[in-house]
Amino acid sequence: MNLSGPKKDLDIANKAIDCMKSTTDFSEFQESWENFLFRIERAWEFTERTLKSKKGFQKWHKPYTDLRKKDPLLVFLRQARNAEMHSVSPTVTKPLKMSVVDKSGRGFQLNSISSRLENGTLTIDLDSPDILLDLDTRIVPTDPEVVRFKNRGKWYNPP
């Protein structure tokens, strides 16, 4: 019995995890995430196909198959792979976070905030009773996040 294929896939999945931990580029993170999802699913499927004819496999295999159907993380990962590979829905995002501060360091009041996105330009309107505000907007670094997604009519939430 040769399981070198699944072993290779698991090694590649492990490298994808290392890449996700170290990269600061979201596109690289997303590529590693998709590769991780693909490789762990392929390792499982290849192992099943290789071992299914072996004596005692079904008895050994059943608890793990049941776990894959019930464990929230395992269900999420499998469905995330399906959503990503079939271009159904993205499963990871990098949120945009901004801070708005008065350049003098003093606080200010806000009545309302509105925003719009037109032709790739984000415009944020701040309504404040304060006068002579000298505001500065800063982009705050964020980490990628897995997100809720829909696959085959069902919603999956990150565990």
| Owner of token pair 């565990």 | 159
What digits encode the pLDDT tens for the residues 57-96?
999 999 999 999 999 999 999 999 999 998 888 999 998 8
**Angle of the 57-70 helix axis to the 72-85 helix axis, nearest 10:** 80
Distance CA 90, CA 149 (A): 7
Evaluated on CA atoms 127, 131, 136, 142, the torsion sign reads: negative
Share of the chain above pLDDT 90, in %: 66
Grade residue 114 by pLDDT with cuts at 50, 70 and 90: very high
Distance CA 83, CA 81 (A): 5
SS3 78: helix
Q: Does 1 have pLDDT greater than 80?
A: no
pLDDT of residue 30: 95
Read off the pTM. Answer: 0.78
Q: Does 18 have pLDDT greater than 80?
A: yes
Longest dimension (CA), the chain: 80
pLDDT of residue 21: 95
Grade residue 45 by pLDDT with cuts at 50, 70 and 90: very high
Q: In this structure, what token pair is assigned to residue 50? A: 């290789």
What digits encode the pLDDT tens for the residues 117-153?
899 898 888 898 988 888 888 888 889 999 999 998 9
pLDDT of residue 2: 84
SS3 130: coil
DSSP designation for 100: E
Q: What are the residues whose beta carbons fall under 8 Å from the beta carbon of 151, sequence distance 6 or more?
A: 79, 82, 83, 88, 89
SS3 136: strand
